[in-house]
A and B are shown apart, each in its own frame.
Chain A
Amino acid sequence: MKKNFGMSAFAAGLILTAAGSAGFAQFQSGSYGSTKAAGIEQTATAPMSSDGNFSVASFPSFPPELAAGEGKAETESFCAMCHSTRYITMQPPLPAATWEAEVNKMTKAFGAPLPETTAKKIISYLQTQYTPESRKQ
């Protein structure tokens, strides 16, 4: 530990403030990132009356950016009829057969009105962009 004989009170104070107590404690401060982080906005309270209606604001949408590629437009418009396409981006990379089974589940078990050519296109898109071998984002 260094002792700073002969330093003015001012300088000693500066050193103490900036570099920790009595000498040169090993610390670092004031590291701020240069990129802008996404904040979460606060929400305002909606007006209310004393009637029997209990309401909340609209549920916010957070559309994800799907991978660019053949079939993206069909995937966005048809899948989003029933659910957010976050259902796609939320998944881990899945094998091609699993994506095919998922789309078939939507059409067969859940009755999604997809023309067969569209279903094929969507399966192909998901198999091209969202498998363990291909997924980038």
Chain B
Amino acid sequence: MHVRRHNISRRDAFKLLGAAGSGLALSHWLGAGAAFAQQKTVGQTIEPFTGPGPNPHWNSIGPYATEPQKAPLILLTDRPVQLETQRSYFRMAFTPNEAFYVRWHLSEIPNRIDLTDWKLKVEGNVNKPLGLSLNDLMEKFKPVSLAAVNQCSGNSRSRFQPRVPGGQWGNGAMGNAMWTGVRLRELLDAAGLKAGSAQVQFQGLETGSGPKGLGSNLFLKSLGLSDSVLDEALVAYLMNGEPLPMLNGFPVRLVVPGYFATYWMKCLTWIRVLTAPDENFWMKTGYRVPDTPRGNTTPEEVKAGSVKTVPITRMPVRSFLAWPDGSSKVPAGMSVTLRGIAFSGYGRVVKAEISEDGAKSWREAQLGEDHGAYSFRTWEAPWIPKTPGSYTVAVRATDEKGNTQPDELVWNPGGYLWNRIEKQEIVVGKAS
């Protein structure tokens, strides 16, 4: 539907202009309006679902919703809460807390925490179990700050072909923040690991209504004590210099730099040292990927039961074009700046490249400030599309280990580890 605002009738217009005797001009004016009336100008609501093909949009297609302490974000589910961050926030290195995506597993998530009662427990196979208040964490241990990307294992799951069930994320299940807190190792040292310790398990305040002992009752994640990522892990009480939003894990959450977010336990309350590998659902069944390059397999191999899996760990290198986002045309000949972010769980991004011809030829983009190996790194590249037409802009990143994003699909039944080169159609219109 479309309505013209200057909705004066031809006769009224003549009355207005009659004194001036400019009928000629007026007829041109109204004539032009009639021609414009053919254009469709009102945006349509996005489709209610995508598939069986891949989601063609950058983000998921849910409605916007406002949850406590959050800006309107894209709703995936309301109970438990899952929200996706809009593309426009990825023009900058740090994702604002109120825009940071949200992903919970079980429906009972905290609405209220009493900090006079709450304690972070360090327990299990330790010499001296600890119970630390938030104040203890802030005052008795050295604060450490670190920029790190938190990305859902299933980010971009809606790209998979064939589609797989699960949270149908677009690309916005990720964010970068400056995390401040206590080194996990310091807490473990303070408690003192006993001989025979194998893993450390993390439990937050979320619970589900399922039976005890099942994954629908508790969400638990564990890391091996020999995993060097523990040396970099933090128990963070500040996110971008502010208390964490409840939905992002107030009062403290685990930060596991370079690893997917599944380990970044929100509302972390129990750190439990185990003497045997954790066999709970979220380790033994959930969040596992094929033990193959890029976690690739096929539906046939899965059906045949021949796929060996391992727990998901580090995030493969990725990069994103935040702007232009394809929602508007760019005038031919105008100098614009392509911009976005890149990151890798394997170390710092050392190169971002852009292509204007659908990933055939590449040129290097300018990298922004280096905020650390596990941070988003912004990139930008000037672009002057000289001739009108449709352009496929692509971006790819390379990390310090030499990993470069490929242009090939990923498929596994969990919908994890997607890191294909991103492409965006940009329409360039005539400017003269």
Contacts and interface: CB of A to CB of B under 8 A. Distances in A.
A and B pair up: yes
A112 B5 contact: no
Interface residues of A, number: 62
Interface in B276-292: 281, 285
B3 A110 contact: no
A86 B49 contact: no
A135 B20 CA distance: 61
Given A32-B5, A93-B163, A112-B210, 10 more contacts: A2-B24, A2-B25, A7-B21, A10-B19, A24-B28, A24-B29, A35-B1, A59-B68, A62-B65, A87-B77
B158 interface: yes
9 contacts: A7-B20, A11-B20, A24-B29, A42-B66, A52-B115, A63-B78, A81-B209, A82-B107, A84-B80
Contacts of A31: 2-5, 41-42
Contacts of B63: 38, 62
- At the interface, is chain A mostly helix, strand, loop or mixed? loop
Interface in B103-122: 107, 109, 111-118
Contacts of B48: 89, 137
Nearest to A53: B114
Nearest to B133: A52
B1 A33 contact: yes
Interface stretch (A14-22, A69-77, A115-123): A14-22
Most interface-central of B20, B21, B115 (chain A CB within 10 A): B20
A21 to B, nearest CB: 13
A60 B20 contact: no
B81 to A, nearest CB: 6
Contacts of B215: 109-110
Interface stretch (B32-40, B255-263, B314-322): B32-40
Contacts of B281: 109
B20 to A, nearest CB: 4
Contacts of B21: 6-7
B114 A26 contact: no
Interface string A31-49: 1111100101111000000
A91 B165 contact: yes
Nearest to B64: A40
